[in-house]
Amino acid sequence: MNVMNKTFLPISAILLITAVSYSDCSSSKKITSNTSASSLKETFKKYFLIGTALNSSQIEEKDPKAAELILQQFNTATPENIMKAEIIHPEWDRYNFDLADKLVAYGKKHGISINAHTLIWHSQLPRFVREMKDADSVKQYFSNHIKTVAGRYNGKVLSWDVVNEALNEDGTMRKSVFLDYLGENFVTEAFRLTQQAAPQTELYYNDYNIEQPGKRAGCIALIKKIQAAAVRIDGVGIQGHWHLGKMPLKEIEESILAYSALGIKVMFTELDIEVLPRDFSGADVSQRMKSDPSLNPYINGLPDSVQQQLANDYEALFRLFLKYKDKVSRVTFWGVNDGQSWLNGWPVPGRTNYPLLFDREFKPKPAYYKVMALAGNNL
Ligand code: G3I
């Protein structure tokens, strides 16, 4: 597909021009880059997959700039919303596979592997499930949903986030319709049913803050329980919704070692770095903050000092990922560029956020060049 037209420069030209302009900066800002001709996926392909979350307009290739950047930079993708139960299974006996089928076709056409997201999650559930009042109905839904959805994409997607965010911050099980009606064993049962329905698909547990010691202990116990039941689990996804200047590097390193010791893949599945004020960590979508102009300080652009901090944070993270390249199998960003990030709308609506490696014009940011240079030095 020719996505170039006269209204914008191709992304490859933008990358080259931006690389040159960064190397022209004053020495304090200078960012070494020998990577102008390359891309994230090329640079890291020996080490791990590089992914992005895709929204529905990106799956349908409606935005030519996004379409070009995605194909250039990423070799794996996770649907941001369209495979969640609320969308793919809106009514008891009705499924909506349109966009998920398009995603699978898109991945096949472009050689992008798909991590399907997500089968069992307490959030974004269809109304009929939220209103269930008895165990039999929940059990039937649970089984039908997994068999039908996972079964349809068996062999067509690389992997499933089988269960998402089942844990509280202290490592205990989170209250949900599944815990209430099916009991703590619902996680193991979800993996068992998915294994049966999708034997050719890798099966992962995915959650945020599971690098933190308390939640990590709960997560390790959960994984061991699945393994003890002789049910397959292939990997764990540490989401990676972190905050500027507060990267939990020690906890991440400990977690890479602890999870890989269980014999499973370790992935960073929803990476972004919040640069705006927020008074809690993680990604619990039910948490909100009241809108206030002081919470949206960078509507006219990111100050250079913050931009540099963001670059340093990403560099430190990727240094760790590269140190453990034999254990980390995938790094997926939660969005293509800053303008398309969910963090513009959460936990405060209508903010201007800057959490990713590409800006609103799809141009690579200093963080991109720092990460790329790091890998270049590692080759
Ligand atoms: O589709 C409706 C649309 O019809 C409606 O007009 C519009 C009005 O608000 O809402 C649209 O739905 C929104 C949906 O994204 C699609 O854009 C929801 O309101 C909005 O809440 C939803 O947010 C998503 C969030 O999960 C919901 O739980 C974010 O895009 C998505 O990035 C986020 O992703 C989660 C991961 O799945 C799990 N880990 C945390 C991560 C961040 O919260």
Name which residue sits closest to atom 25 of ligand 1, judged by CA.
285
Q: How far is CA 186 from the centre of its chain?
A: 23
- Dig out the tokens for 7 from the structure: 């209204």
- 136 CA distance to ligand 1 middle (Å): 29
Nearest ligand 1 atom to the CA of 335 is: 32
Which member of 68, 189, 211, 270 is catalytic?
Answer: 270
> Would you call 211 a catalytic residue per the annotation?
no
d(CA 64, CA 303): 29
- 286 CA distance to ligand 1 middle (Å): 11
Quote the pLDDT of residue 280.
81
pTM for the predicted model, two decimal places: 0.92
The DSSP line for 303-370 is -HHHHHHHHHHHHHHHHHHHHTTTTEEEEEESSSSGGG-GGGTSSSTT-----SSB-TTSPBPHHHHH
Task: Kindly state the helix (H) or strand (E) to which residue 235 belongs, with its residue range.
Answer: strand 235-238
Quote the pLDDT of residue 12.
55
SS (H, E, C) 159-192: EEEEEECCECCCCCECCCHHHHHHCCCHHHHHHH
Name which residue sits closest to atom 30 of ligand 1, judged by CA.
342
- pLDDT tens for the 379 residues of the chain, in order: 333 333 344 555 555 544 444 433 333 333 344 444 489 999 999 999 999 999 999 999 999 999 999 999 999 999 999 999 999 999 999 999 999 999 999 999 999 999 999 999 999 999 999 999 999 999 999 999 999 999 999 999 999 999 999 999 999 999 999 999 999 999 999 999 999 999 999 999 999 999 999 999 999 999 999 999 999 999 999 999 999 999 999 999 999 999 999 999 999 999 999 999 988 888 888 888 888 889 999 999 999 999 999 999 999 999 999 999 999 999 999 999 999 999 999 999 999 999 999 999 999 999 999 999 998 765 4
Mutational test site, ligand 1, from 60, 209, 280, 285, max ligand atoms within 8 Å of CB: 285
Name which residue sits closest to atom 39 of ligand 1, judged by CA.
283
Nearest ligand 1 atom to the CA of 124 is: 28
Output phi, psi for 193, to 5 deg: -65, -40
Mutational test site, ligand 1, from 52, 59, 80, 81, max ligand atoms within 8 Å of CB: 81
Question: Are 239 and 212 within 8 A, CB to CB?
Answer: no
- Cis before residue 118, ω within 30 degrees of 0? yes
Protein residues with CB under 6 Å of any ligand 1 atom: 80-81, 123-124, 164, 239, 270, 283, 285, 342
- 345 CA distance to ligand 1 middle (Å): 9
Quote the pLDDT of residue 339.
97
Name which residue sits closest to atom 13 of ligand 1, judged by CA.
81
Name which residue sits closest to atom 34 of ligand 1, judged by CA.
80
> Would you call 270 a catalytic residue per the annotation?
yes
d(CA 133, CA 344): 35
Own/partner long-range contacts of 31-39 (Cβ < 8 Å, ≥24 apart): 31/311, 31/366, 31/369, 31/370, 31/373, 32/369, 32/373, 33/369, 33/372, 33/373, 33/376, 34/373, 34/376, 35/369, 35/372, 35/373, 35/375, 35/376, 38/372, 39/15, 39/72, 39/73
Tell which phi-psi region holds residue 142, choosing left (phi > 0), alpha (psi between -120 and 50) or beta: alpha
Quote the pLDDT of residue 30.
38
- 289 CA distance to ligand 1 middle (Å): 16
d(CA 357, CA 310): 9
Name which residue sits closest to atom 23 of ligand 1, judged by CA.
342
